[in-house]
Amino acid sequence: MKKLAVIAFGGNALLRGGQKGTYREQMLNVTETCESLLPFLEKDYNLVIGHGNGPQVGNVMLQHEAGSQEFGVPSMPIDFCVAETQGLIGFMIEMGLGKVFAKTGIKRNVVTLVTQVVVDKDDPMFQNPTKPVGPYYTKEEAEKYAAETGSIFKEDPKGRGWRKVVASPKPIAIQNVDIVKRLAEEGNIVVTVGGGGIPVVEKNGSLGGIEAVIDKDLASAMTAINIHADEFYILTDVPNVYINFRKENEQALKTITVAEAKKYLADGQFTEGSMAPKIRAAVLFVEATGHEAIITEATRLSDPACGTRIIA
């Protein structure tokens, strides 16, 4: 049988430091990242792609806010914005892969699924929301919006203003994951759990959206586990995982065990909001499947020994 790999695109797959985020910039970035998948395509892997949406969903929220203030167009909740960005980023990935196929003569279908991810409405993260989203406000504006909407705002640690914060609960189920598996095994490249998935909770026997942000690497790892993936890759902006990052004694890690990864996490070697969630997602996959997970930069994928490998 063909190997099945899940590849989680990092935020730099679409938008890089110093860029404005124009459509042209993002399209060029996506196409370059898609070109890095050639080693998998040439080996005829079955592929499932997850992706982040941090800058894009933030921009969409800014657009909604501007439309609301300037023209009275109602702004939309986060679950709506995540769905919106899943569609637009999926479109760009499909276009990027299409350019790669045109150059190489590869013929594959690419399918984007707007994916809901179920979280527990009683997840403790809802009691202490910490994930900042959307635009910055003055303290007065934040207090006004908090009174009007019931949203929670916190001051930015770098002094840039006040931002809305939401929970980042753990994913507990990926909707339509069986369809993802079937489509991938039929040879289609599937784009799913974009931005961690649209956060939903069970309400009276059906699912409804909720204000939350789900970690995209964790959602991708859960997808990889559920579809019985052979390999799991997390793409980021550095070639390896490091301990003592950006210090004189910085050390790139090549292969580490789950136990070592957990110790480094406990020692505070990995930053929250950066490498720590990626390590947790990799550990989750390895513990559940016994297969290795690889964290690396997209341009290194042609090297069979690329990145940092987390093994059992």
Q: In the prediction, which pLDDT does 51 show?
A: 97
Q: Are 151 and 237 in a shared domain? A: no
* Burial of 230: CB neighbours in 10 Å, binned 0-12, 13-18, 19+: middle
| Alpha helix stretches (DSSP H) within the chain | 23-35, 38-42, 54-71, 78-104, 139-149, 177-185, 216-226, 258-266, 275-289
Is 307 domain-assigned?
Answer: yes
Catalytic residue among 11, 58, 195, 197: 11
Residues in the chain where the model's pLDDT stays below 50: none
- Give the SS3 label for residue 151: coil
Catalytic residue among 10, 12, 29, 197: 12
Q: Are 21 and 107 in a shared domain? A: yes
Q: How many CB atoms lie within 10 A of CB 33?
A: 26
Q: Are 264 and 137 in a shared domain? A: no
Q: How many domains does the chain have?
A: 2
Which residue is it, tokens 């505070």? 268
Is 104 domain-assigned?
Answer: yes
Q: Are 35 and 153 in a shared domain? A: no
Residue 89 CA: distances (Å) to CA of 10, 37, 183, 191: 12, 17, 19, 9
Q: Are 162 and 178 in a shared domain? A: no
Is 15 domain-assigned?
Answer: yes
Is there a catalytic annotation at residue 263? no
Is there a catalytic annotation at residue 154? no
Is 61 domain-assigned?
Answer: yes
* Listed residues 137, 166, 195: the one ending a domain: 166
Q: In the prediction, which pLDDT does 154 show?
A: 94
Q: Are 142 and 291 in a shared domain? A: no
Q: Are 112 and 207 in a shared domain? A: yes
115, 198 Cβ separation under 8 angstroms: yes
Catalytic residue among 50, 54, 195, 216: 216
| DSSP line for 220-289 | HHHHHHHTT-SEEEEEESSSSEEESTTSTT-EEESEEEHHHHHHHHHTT-S-TTTHHHHHHHHHHHHHHH
Q: In the prediction, which pLDDT does 65 show?
A: 85
Q: In the prediction, which pLDDT does 33 show?
A: 96
Q: Are 160 and 178 in a shared domain? A: no
Q: Are 78 and 160 in a shared domain? A: no
Is 189 domain-assigned?
Answer: yes
Q: In the prediction, which pLDDT does 12 show?
A: 78
Q: In the prediction, which pLDDT does 46 show?
A: 98
- Entry pTM: 0.94
Q: Are 76 and 136 in a shared domain? A: no
Is there a catalytic annotation at residue 197? no
Q: Distance (Å, rounded) from C-alpha 214 to C-alpha 241?
A: 22
Angle formed by the axes of helices 54-71 and 78-104, nearest 10°: 130
Q: In the prediction, which pLDDT does 49 show?
A: 98
Q: In the prediction, which pLDDT does 233 show?
A: 98
Is there a catalytic annotation at residue 12? yes
* Structural domain harbouring 240: 4-119+173-311
Catalytic residue among 46, 50, 131, 164: 131
Is there a catalytic annotation at residue 131? yes
Is 158 domain-assigned?
Answer: yes
197, 219 Cβ separation under 8 angstroms: yes
Q: Are 39 and 58 in a shared domain? A: yes
The CATH number given to whatever domain includes residue 224 is 3.40.1160.10
Q: In the prediction, which pLDDT does 235 show?
A: 97
Q: Which two tokens stand for residue 235?
A: 């793409």
Q: Are 152 and 78 in a shared domain? A: no
Is 99 domain-assigned?
Answer: yes
Q: Distance (Å, rounded) from C-alpha 71 to C-alpha 113?
A: 32
Residue 76 CA: distances (Å) to CA of 67, 133, 295: 11, 13, 34
Is 124 domain-assigned?
Answer: no
Q: What is the DSSP letter of 214?
A: -
Contacts of residue 182, Cβ cutoff 8 Å, sequence gap at least 6: none
